[in-house]
Each structure stands twice: as structure tokens, then as C-alpha cells.
């Protein structure tokens, strides 16, 4: 057996080493870099190989799982996880490596877009905070699965913006993660009430969030969107986002009980 075959994943808690690994593919690691911040790092379970790592983030119910590495490393890392269920994020070259370990209940084809040429959109929005949490959750409940990655603690970032009509919140955008120290932000939790769609409200709130993030000095700004959501992609492109790569995500269940123990 080759020496490389004997290497098994190990728990990693050294932020400097985690940061070094993540920055080998900064765009793919957008969310994971933000998780290095205090208050987020405590919810992370990192396991690594010499040139790869996996993260399970346990601060939200869906438990996102992020893997950085080639196919062989991905297979070893996923095999070492104790999670029976998680929200698995994989690039195309990692999909086959997950076979026999995790199976998607439903796999979503996604685009990762970045703000390359900001084109601010006009419109009046208001900043949203913790006091608006119930209104935001009520808005997400009005439609088709909005807010799946929303957690109330995200409101403390100060980057959520919304639009109200007749006193009722009809559109919202914010961030899923943000880190001033790492210089990254992922815009997300974007949602417009179904009866108010097609009026450019998503562009307006997304633009307001992007403006606030840029004003905070953060330069790397990305978001995720389902590849089949043509209207959302067009809206984000009008704000200045461009697709950099595609990947898969979705809730996945572990198929067996055998794991590689660190």
C-alpha cells in the first residue's frame, strides 16, 4: 500500500492552516472563509488531509457540508464524517467520489456568481435587524421555500435590507455569511413575495445589500443561484454579478455506517 493511501483525515483546529488550505481555491471557499470568524468558528467541525479538508457547519439546521479537494481526497473526507444527514456542496469532479457514502435526496444544480462590475439599481429600501425577524420569517413562509439558509443571528451583521408596501414586508435580501477580516461576503436569503415578483424588487434589495457590503470595505462578494432560475440569474446579472462556476448542493443522507476514524 502506498504511503498516501495510509493517510486518514484528522481533526483540524489551527485557523492559520485552515485559512491556508481555503485560499488555494478562494472562490469555492467563499462561505468557509467567513466561518473562520469568532462566533462562527465555534460551530465548525473541520477534518483534513494534507491538501484537502471538509467542513460541517452546525449553526443552522440543515448542517452545510463543504469539501475542498480532489476526488480521492473527497472520498476519504466524506467517509470520515459521522453526519447521517447534511446539506452537501460538491463540485463536478467530487460527485462520483460521494457515491456509496452519501446520496442526495434531491440534487440542485447551482451557479456561484461574483460581483464583477457593480451596477447599482435605484429604489428605496430599509435596513432590517433583529426586530424585523418575525416579519422576515413570515415573508419566507409566504412562498416556495424561501429562507432555507436563513438564521436569525445573520441579522446582526447589519447587511439585511427590505422593501415594505402598506407596512408589510414584500422583499428582502441579506447575507448568509460575511467576514470583514477575511474580506468575503455571500449575499443570500433573497426573496420576493410571489404576488410582487417581476417588478425588479430583487434587484433593488440585492443592490442595497451589495452597496452596504462594499461600503464596509469587503471586495469579494458572491452569491448562489439555481441554474434553472433564469429570472433570478438575469436579475443578478443586471446588478453586475457574473457566473464563475457551477456545482451541486442539496440534502444528502449517509448510506452506510462504516467510517474512516481519525
What tens digit of pLDDT does each residue of 63-93 get?
A: 999 999 999 999 999 999 999 999 999 999 9
Predicted confidence band at 258 (pLDDT cuts at 50, 70, 90)? Answer: very low
Band of the pLDDT at 149, cuts 50, 70, 90? Answer: confident
How do residues 154-181 score in pLDDT, each as one tens digit? 999 999 999 999 999 999 999 999 999 9
Mean pLDDT, all residues of the chain: 93
Q: For residue 45, what pLDDT is reported?
A: 96
225 Ramachandran zone, left/alpha/beta (phi>0; psi -120 to 50): beta
Distance CA 102, CA 65 (A): 11
57 SS3 class: strand
Beta bridge partners of 175: 187
Q: How far is residue 139's CA from residue 9's CA, in Å, rounded to a whole number? A: 42
The better pLDDT of the pair 147, 120 is held by: 120
Tell me how many helices (H) and strands (E) the chain has.
8, 13
What would you measure as the largest C-alpha separation in the chain, in angstroms?
69
Convert the pLDDT of each residue in 185-203 to its tens digit.
999 999 999 999 999 999 9
pLDDT-derived band at 30, boundaries 50, 70, 90: very high
How far lies 15's CA from each of 34, 44, 58, 182, in Å? 12, 11, 18, 12
Flag whether pLDDT at 6 surpasses 80. Answer: no
DSSP 115: E
Please identify which residue in the block is written with the cell numbers 467576514.
Answer: 179
**Strand ranges inside 43-157, DSSP E:** 44-49, 52-57, 64-68, 85-90, 102-104, 108-115, 126-128
State residue 147's pLDDT score. Answer: 78
pLDDT band at 60 (very low <50, low <70, confident <90, very high): confident
Amino acid at each position: 500500500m502506498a504511503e498516501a493511501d495510509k493517510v486518514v483525515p484528522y481533526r483540524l483546529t489551527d485557523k492559520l492552516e485552515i485559512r491556508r488550505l481555503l485560499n488555494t481555491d478562494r472562490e469555492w471557499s467563499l462561505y468557509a472563509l467567513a466561518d473562520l470568524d469568532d462566533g462562527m468558528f465555534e460551530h465548525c467541525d473541520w477534518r483534513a488531509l494534507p491538501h484537502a479538508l471538509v467542513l460541517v457547519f452546525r449553526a443552522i439546521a440543515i448542517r452545510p457540508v463543504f469539501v475542498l479537494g480532489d476526488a480521492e481526497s473527497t472520498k476519504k473526507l466524506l467517509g470520515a464524517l459521522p453526519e447521517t444527514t447534511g446539506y452537501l456542496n460538491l463540485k463536478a469532479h467530487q460527485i462520483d467520489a460521494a457515491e456509496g457514502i452519501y446520496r442526495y435526496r434531491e440534487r440542485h444544480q447551482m451557479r456561484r456568481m461574483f460581483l464583477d462590475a457593480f451596477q447599482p439599481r435605484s429604489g428605496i429600501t430599509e435596513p432590517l435587524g433583529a426586530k424585523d425577524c418575525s416579519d422576515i420569517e413570515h415573508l419566507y413562509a409566504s412562498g416556495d421555500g424561501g429562507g432555507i439558509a436563513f438564521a436569525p443571528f445573520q441579522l446582526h451583521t447589519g447587511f439585511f435590507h427590505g422593501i415594505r408596501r402598506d407596512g408589510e414586508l414584500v422583499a428582502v435580501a441579506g447575507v448568509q455569511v460575511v467576514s470583514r477580516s477575511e474580506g468575503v461576503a455571500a449575499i443570500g436569503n433573497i426573496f420576493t413575495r410571489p404576488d410582487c415578483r417581476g417588478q425588479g424588487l430583487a434587484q433593488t434589495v440585492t443592490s442595497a445589500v451589495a452597496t452596504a457590503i462594499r461600503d464596509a470595505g469587503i471586495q469579494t462578494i458572491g452569491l448562489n443561484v439555481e441554474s434553472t432560475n433564469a429570472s433570478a440569474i438575469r436579475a443578478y446579472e443586471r446588478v453586475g454579478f457574473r457566473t464563475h462556476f457551477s456545482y451541486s448542493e442539496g440534502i444528502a443522507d449517509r448510506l452506510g455506517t462504516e467510517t474512516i476514524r481519525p
